[in-house]
Amino acid sequence: MNLDGDVWRRVSMGEGMTPIVSYNGNVFLKMDFMMPTLSFKDRGAATLVSHMKAIGVKKCVQDSSGNAGVAVAAYCARSGIACEIYVPEGTSPNKIAMIEGFGAKAVVVPGTRDHCAEVCRSKVKEEGAYYANHVYNPYFYEGTKAYIYETFEQLKRIPRHIFIELGNGTLFIGAVLALEHLMRSGVIDEFPQLIAVQSENCAPFYETEEQGSSSLVEVTPKPTLAEGIAIGKPARADEVLDMIRRHNVKVITAPEDRILPCREEMSKRGFYVEHTTAAALAAYYRYCEKFGPTEDALLSLCGAGLKSEH
Ligand SMILES: Cc1ncc(COP(=O)(O)O)c(C=O)c1O
């Protein structure tokens, strides 16, 4: 059943179907910074804002470490929906400039990303505003699922190892749901090895796995260049943990001191990515050190380098 009709045609800006290119023979890169707002969040923003437009939302609020806010602001601008985006202090100035450039109000909240989410949610409760949040709103995941569908369409198979940065889990959850769908439909008969990437300075899922805890071990984030995944208390922790255990997902951390060298390595090969994306390569190398050479690996180039010039 398609409740939203074809509203999406007026909202979409051609996001998705980003190329997959070879990095070094073992690693494939999905060029997700080649999207209208230069990050993978556009897939989810396109589906969420299409739904909002279809049900007549006129104004929304949301909180973000930056990229999701930029994406929602852009698709709202295209759809004539007013929006207010809450970002934590320390968010890259270029992300804030993009949010404001799209005509949205950017509210910078002192403190951590987790605190920023709490402030935004109180605003939702007080004012009854539509919460266009990428973590809570299920329509967002309908978009992020396409990461896997596109990969299958492009390669005619699913790579054996898929590295996914994990903060709140919007790409992670979408990818798992899509892979489960492909398995159920008989399109693939083997689940790939998923590897969830966390920042060494903010790794609640890694800590939980290390301690073998049945519920999430919350952490207080220490400063990290990987701002996109600096989430100490992920809102969908139980769901993510369940997926980790259901599919034997490995969780790996990106060493903080390797993020900038990886960013430089990628730049020298023509890929100009943001710090959080460079963290995925740093985590790939750490994974190889721990588990041996890892062929046929897919990494998402989640965000463009010009977004994190600090
Ligand atoms: C560049 C980048 N990579 C990865 C992520 C992780 O996404 P999530 O928090 O949904 O797991 C984000 C989130 O904002 C991001 O900006």
Domain end point (choices 90, 123, 138): 138
Can you give the pLDDT at residue 1?
43
Cα 285 to averaged position of ligand 1 atoms, centre (Å): 19
CATH of the domain at 275: 3.40.50.1100
Does a structural domain hold residue 163?
A: yes
Ligand 1 contacts (CB < 6 A) are 39, 65, 67-68, 165-172, 228-229, 231, 274, 276-277, 302-303
For residue 166, give the ligand 1 atom closest to its CA.
11
Q: Quick one: 257 exposed, middle or buried, by C-beta within 10 A (0-12, 13-18, 19+)?
A: exposed
Does a structural domain hold residue 215?
A: yes
Residue 251 and residue 133 share a domain: no
Residue 143 and residue 210 share a domain: yes
Sign of CA dihedral 233, 234, 237, 243: negative
CB atoms within 10 A of CB 294: 18
- Give first-to-last CA distance, the chain, whole Å: 46
Domain end point (choices 138, 173, 197): 138
CB 178 within 8 A of CB 242: no
Cα 137 to averaged position of ligand 1 atoms, centre (Å): 15
Does a structural domain hold residue 1?
A: no
For residue 300, give the ligand 1 atom closest to its CA.
3
Q: Whose CA is nearest to atom 10 of ligand 1?
A: 170
DSSP 134-197: TTT-HHHHHHHTHHHHHHHHHHSS--SEEEEE-SS-HHHHHHHHHHHHHHHTTS-SS--EEEEE
Residue 265 and residue 146 share a domain: yes
**Which residues make Cβ contacts (< 8 Å) with residue 251, sequence separation at least 6?**
166, 195, 196, 198, 203, 205, 206, 209, 244
Residue of 63, 112, 171, 206 to mutate, ligand 1, most atoms within 8 A of C-beta: 171
Residue 268 and residue 287 share a domain: yes
Residue 227 and residue 231: Cα distance in Å, rounded?
9
Q: How many domains does the chain have?
A: 2
Residue of 31, 39, 67, 162 to mutate, ligand 1, most atoms within 8 A of C-beta: 67
For residue 307, give the ligand 1 atom closest to its CA.
1
Q: Where are the alpha helices (DSSP H) in the chain?
A: 8-11, 41-54, 67-79, 93-101, 113-127, 138-144, 146-155, 170-184, 204-211, 237-246, 259-268, 275-291
Residue 9 and residue 234: Cα distance in Å, rounded?
32
Q: Which domain holds residue 205?
A: 8-40+139-308
Domain end point (choices 71, 104, 138): 138
Cα 257 to averaged position of ligand 1 atoms, centre (Å): 19
Residue 149 and residue 126 share a domain: no
CB 72 within 8 A of CB 48: yes
Residue 118 and residue 246 share a domain: no
The pLDDT profile of the chain, 310 residues, written as one tens digit per residue, is: 456 789 999 999 999 999 999 999 999 999 999 999 999 999 999 999 999 999 999 999 999 988 999 999 999 999 999 999 999 998 989 999 999 999 999 999 999 888 999 999 999 999 889 999 999 999 999 999 999 999 999 999 999 999 999 999 999 999 999 999 999 999 999 999 999 999 999 999 999 999 999 999 999 989 999 988 999 999 999 999 999 999 999 999 999 999 999 999 999 999 999 999 999 999 999 999 999 999 999 999 999 999 877 5
